[in-house]
Amino acid sequence: MANSRSTKSTKPQKQSTLAVYLYIPNIIGYIRILLNCVGFAICFQDKILFSLLYLVSFVCDALDGWFARKFNQVSTFGAVLDMVTDRISTACLLLILSQVYRPGLIFISLLALDIGSHWLQMYSTFLLGKSSHKDVKDSNSWLFRAYYRNRMFMGYCCASCEVLYIMLFLLAKNQIESLPLVLGNAVQQSWVKAGILGLAGFGWGIKQLVNVIQIKTAADVCVLYDINKKQ
């Protein structure tokens, strides 16, 4: 009887769903959503406050991963929440820029590339039976591997995109602006703006190239999956 009691007491307790929802990194995710909702609601009334809220949300994106590893609170729900929040935040900002600048099709195309590449990458990850979409060690592209395996490099590219988009939003003085004209004026007016735009633009370009590679790589996985299934 004593042995049976000790066996029962050593059984791991089943974790409740509420406990997972209340993980520290997931709470940070909820805060990010709230910040973005408030920010986008006032984006045209107070550009500075919106930009601050958006950038704080972006910084929190880095913090939730750190807390997840620090407190061993990594969860599938948290990973999905993080990615969905990232994609929706960027998509909303790109939609706003498409209304402010001409040609607006540039920003709509960037939105489609961002959503499409990440959706395909996630789907191909499930087909391969991998636990993370960042597991790309078997990729033939050195840039694709470097992007997902080097946190600093990936962080620079992601931050470059957000900084560039926020700068474009702040630089727009009128309701409808010409993108080439605004960029040209900003570069001519201040070397600081020119430097930030150049540094952010370089990281942004790498990120878009990675998105294109991601689409091709994920599409190949889908095609090969069908081919192998028929053999």
Q: Give CA–CA dist 75/68, Å, rounded.
A: 8
Q: What pLDDT, in 10s, does the model give residues 106-159?
A: 999 999 999 999 999 999 999 999 888 888 988 999 999 999 999 999 999 999
* Model pLDDT, residue 62: 85
* Residue 103, preceding peptide bond in cis (omega within 30° of 0): yes
Q: Answer yes or no: is 6 within a domain.
A: no
Q: Give CA–CA dist 208/201, Å, rounded.
A: 10
Instruction: Specify the higher pLDDT residue, 3 or 206.
Output: 206
Q: What pLDDT, in 10s, does the model give residues 165-196?
A: 999 999 999 889 999 999 999 999 999 999 99
Q: What pLDDT, in 10s, does the model give residues 59-76?
A: 998 888 889 989 999 998
Contact 144, 217 (CB under 8 A): yes
CATH number at residue 52: 1.20.120
Q: What is the DSSP letter of 195?
A: H
Distances (CA, A) of 153 to 109, 175, 180, 208: 24, 35, 28, 14
% the chain with pLDDT above 70? 94
Q: Answer yes or no: is 54 within a domain.
A: yes
DSSP E strands: which ranges in the chain? 101-102, 177-178
Full residue range of the structural domain in which residue 110 is found: 16-230
Considering only CA atoms, give the Rg of the chain.
Answer: 21
Contact 92, 40 (CB under 8 A): yes
Q: What is the DSSP letter of 22?
A: T
Instruction: Specify the higher pLDDT residue, 204 or 14.
Output: 204
Q: Answer yes or no: is 121 within a domain.
A: yes
Q: Answer yes or no: is 2 within a domain.
A: no
Q: Answer yes or no: is 4 within a domain.
A: no
* Model pLDDT, residue 174: 86
Catalytic entry in 61, 86, 114, 220:
86
**Number of compact structural domains in the chain:** 1
Q: Does the annotation mark 138 as catalytic?
A: no
Q: Give CA–CA dist 144/139, Å, rounded.
A: 7
Pairing, β 101-102 against β 177-178 = parallel
